Chain A
Amino acid sequence: MNFLGIYYYWVFAILLMVGFYAVIAKLNLIKKLIGLSLFQAAVFLLYITVGKVEGGTAPIFASAAGERLFSNPLPQVLILTAIVVGISTTALGLGIIVRIKEEYGTIEEQEIQEIDRQ
């Protein structure tokens, strides 16, 4: 558990930055949005990792088992709703991208900026 624990944190850090890299270094708007989703997924992973209790189970009372150790329910609640909110905001972003494509004929950032400068 010890190595796995620190590995979870490292994967969080690398995923976060892979997503962020796609947001700042890529020019395609859909790719930026995918990068933002990766960034978001990294944060989800961190919260759920933090909520884990060693030897615990999912926080659902089983009638037969009696007293047991449960993982922390609160981060799970926060992330559960955040996932659904995330897809809604992603859909909104995709809607904006589709409108940009219709107006500008492209979804590449530098081409949009050139059209704007003219």
Chain B
Amino acid sequence: MTIVFGVFLLTLMLITAIAIVRTQNLFVAVMLSGIFSLLLASNFFLLDAADVALTEAAVGAGISTVLYLSALALSAENERAPYSSHRLIALAVVSVTALLVIYATFDQPRVGDPAAPVHQHVAPWYLEMTRDAIDIPNVVTAVLSSFRGYDTLGEVFVVFTAGIGVLFLLDKPGARHGGTQTVGRVRLRHYLIPRLVGRMLIPFILLFGLYVQFHGEYGPGGGFQAGALIAASIILYALLEGETRALQALPRRLLTLLIASGALLYGGVGVAGMLLGGNFLDYSVLASDPVKGQQLGIILIEAGVGITVTGVLLSVFHAFAARGRF
């Protein structure tokens, strides 16, 4: 049965990808890429990657579609000239490379082979040590926040930097002069059904986001997914009730504070470990029992990740939306 589902989902993905590239209407392309993300998330789920599927569904199908649409509203909705003059050369290069990569796949280990090299290196160690040293059920969370805490710290800083970059590019303080008159513009307030359905859904999305945040050690979830979900619920609120109401609930200044404080919390936990006599990002020293210390550290840094991701995604959304007023 899995094989039928797998082939079906993969083929749909290919068709969607080709349709995305072929269409000249950018609105259609963005909508199709939302569908593409959903198909990709289903594929991740088939491949046992529940955490990744959750992230892709929240980020790819939810937030990235909204961001692309706000960028489209500020630029153009159609491509003018569909292809560059070097189209045929590009096509040839792409086809030859695709054939080469396909040729190379015959030397790859069979998918799912437990003896493949990738499963021999550190993965068994992680699976074993999670039980002994950290004692939480979700190995993905354990690896993410404890064993490879340095990587995740770096990635939180990349998210942080990208968010600051967008704010620098789009958030010109001088451009907000006449804001107060136009701010009252409402988006979907006159559409009864989206508004009612949205109102019912938003609290549940928010609750689910918090559940994903705090249940990340036991089931699929964690700071990255939770941040995306919480941001998605507030973006939905902003789309339905107008941006002003969303900004009243969570002002810009607070969002900027969130971006910084999440990254600071993460780094702070690392430094706290150093001050208590361990290494940077070594959580074992945070409590008298090393296992409890690890669990405490994971909860804290997951919270930091969640706060930063929420802050960045919401600030980026508001930065785009504020441009749209002119």
Instruction: Assess whether A34 is in contact with B33, with CB atoms less than 8 Å apart.
Output: yes
**B274 at the A/B interface (Cβ < 8 Å)?**
no
**A-B CB contacts (within 8 Å), total count:** 313
Q: With both chains docked as a complex, state the minimum distance between the C-beta of A46 and any C-beta of chain B, in angstroms.
A: 10
Q: CB of B202 within 8 A of chain A?
A: no
Instruction: Please state if B98 and A16 are interface contacts (CB–CB under 8 Å).
Output: yes
Assess the A10–B102 pair: CB atoms within 8 A: yes
Contacts of B40 in A (CB 8 A): 41, 44-45
Write the B100-137 contact mask toward A (1 if CB under 8 angstroms, else 0): 01100110101111101011001100110011000001
Q: Does B207 touch A at the CB level, under 8 Å?
A: no
For B315, the closest partner residue in chain A by CB is A91
Most-contacted residue by chain B among A37, A41, A54 (CB, 10 A): A41
- Does B148 interact with chain A (Cβ within 8 Å)? yes
- Assess whether A79 is in contact with B131, with CB atoms less than 8 Å apart: no
Q: Is the CB of B3 within 8 A of A1?
A: yes
**B250 interfacial by beta-carbon distance below 8 Å:** no
The count of residues in chain A whose C-beta lies closer than 8 Å to any C-beta of chain B is 90
- Whether A7 and B10, one on each chain, are in contact in the complex, defined by CB atoms closer than 8 angstroms, is yes
A83 CB contacts on chain B under 8 angstroms: 52, 55-56, 59-60, 224
Report whether B137 and A51 are in contact in the complex, using a CB–CB cutoff of 8 Å: no
Q: Write out the residue numbers on chain B whose beta carbons fall within 8 Å of the beta carbon of A6.
A: 105-106, 111
Interface class of chain A by DSSP:
helix
- Nearest CB in chain B: distance from A9 CB, A: 4
Residues from chain A with a CB closer than 8 A to the CB of B114 are 53-54, 69
28 A-B contacts (beta carbon < 8 Å): A1-B112, A4-B3, A8-B111, A18-B14, A22-B20, A25-B87, A28-B26, A28-B79, A30-B68, A34-B68, A52-B111, A52-B112, A58-B51, A59-B127, A59-B140, A61-B130, A73-B139, A76-B49, A76-B140, A79-B49, A80-B140, A81-B224, A84-B228, A90-B64, A95-B166, A97-B71, A98-B320, A111-B80
Q: A-contacting residues of B (Cβ < 8 Å)?
A: 2-3, 6-7, 10, 13-14, 17-18, 20-21, 26, 29-30, 33, 36-37, 40, 43-44, 47-52, 55-56, 59-60, 63-64, 67-68, 71-72, 74-76, 79-84, 86-87, 90-91, 93-95, 97-98, 101-102, 105-106, 108, 110-114, 116, 118-119, 122-123, 126-127, 130-131, 137-140, 143-144, 148, 151-152, 155, 158-159, 162-163, 165-166, 169-170, 218-220, 222, 224-225, 227-228, 309, 312-313, 316, 319-320, 323
